[in-house]
Amino acid sequence: MSFTILQAATFPVGLRNKIDSSINVIGPFGLPVGATLSAEEAATVRILITMGSLTTDEAAMDRLPNLGLICCYGTGYEGVDLDAARKRGIMVTHSPSANASSVADLAMALLLAVSRRVVIADKFVREGAWKGGSAARMPLIRGLTGRKIGVFGLGAIGRKIADRAAAFEMEVAYYNRSRKLEVPYPFHDSLQSLADWADILMIAVRADGSNQHVVDKGILKALGQEGIVINISRGSVIDEPVLIELLESGQLGGAGLDVYEREPAVPDSLKALTNVVLTPHIAGGTIDAHEAMQELIVMNIMAYLADQPLKTPVPELRS
């Protein structure tokens, strides 16, 4: 039987170009996944290319009765119902490490922008407020040297962030679901312990149902009035209304955010804060990162079609 690959979202054209031209690639057709396909079309779909932020639930799998492989473009796969996939014998892959360097770079860019007030300084110059005298300059602030940065989630991205922070002469520690024996940084056995120690919290954890709003008021307040939180993971990890409350009241010093709870909607109250730097979920948005993610997608597809071991199955479904 001939088969098709269904794209659940719009991906760079380079991905389609890398897939064997003899394979029929269709989509995207809108959400929910597979809902607009006829029964005949749906029956031909063996491979789904999606993103972790999109819902691929039991209903979606039922609509695609011959689905055998789900490829997530990027590191995340929180939108895939892994239990439903396991029951149906559907394999699931993602693209870990492919965009790690790019995401780590933006994490540090956000940290620098917030801590050194780069956006405010840019506005200061553009508006002509810089007159040259010391009294007209911006107030002195703390630098990064010697500050304590806690990395929440020490996977491929978190490790690269930790290494970059160490190069900035910062004290680095981390909290992860398990201790990483091969890293030189101190391990904290709870997120609260990490937050109590740190004055900068870098969120690099993989998002799933178990860590929704885990960065709550207690965690954020522990960072202190000069504390900074940076999130390049998923918006659902932070309790967003609480974050806004603490930033507005001065109980938290600043935030750098690339992700939000209800993307692309960003609360107006968050946009209004001058101690926050916002970017539109672009951490992995570099040419080299996308090339690497596309290569992994194609390698996993080819391995599946050849009945060979997958290159990057999600950890929960590794055999």
The count of other CB atoms within 10 Å of the CB of residue 311 is: 17
d(CA 156, CA 176): 12
Helices (H), the chain: 13-18, 39-43, 58-63, 82-88, 100-115, 118-126, 156-167, 191-197, 217-222, 240-249, 268-271, 287-305
Q: Which two tokens stand for residue 61?
A: 């799998």
d(CA 204, CA 284): 13
Three-state secondary structure call for residue 278: strand
Greatest Cα pair distance, the chain, in angstroms, is 77
Q: Which of 147, 188, 206, 234 is catalytic?
A: 234
Q: Which of 88, 116, 213, 281 is catalytic?
A: 281
HSE-CB of 95 using CA atoms within 13 angstroms: 25
Q: Establish whether 127 is a catalytic residue.
A: no
Q: Which of 58, 169, 263, 316 is catalytic?
A: 263
d(CA 69, CA 172): 39
Q: What are the angstrom distances between the C-alpha of 169 and each of 10, 145, 164, 229?
A: 41, 5, 9, 18
d(CA 151, CA 232): 11
Q: Establish whether 213 is a catalytic residue.
A: no
Q: Establish whether 261 is a catalytic residue.
A: no
Strand pairing class (24-26; 4-7): parallel
Question: What contacts 29, CB < 8 A, 6 or more positions away?
Answer: 36, 37
HSE-CB of 149 using CA atoms within 13 angstroms: 33
Question: What contacts 153, CB < 8 A, 6 or more positions away?
Answer: 174, 175, 176, 203, 204, 205, 206, 233
* Amino acid (one-letter) located at 78: E
Mind telling me the catalytic residues?
A: 234, 263, 281
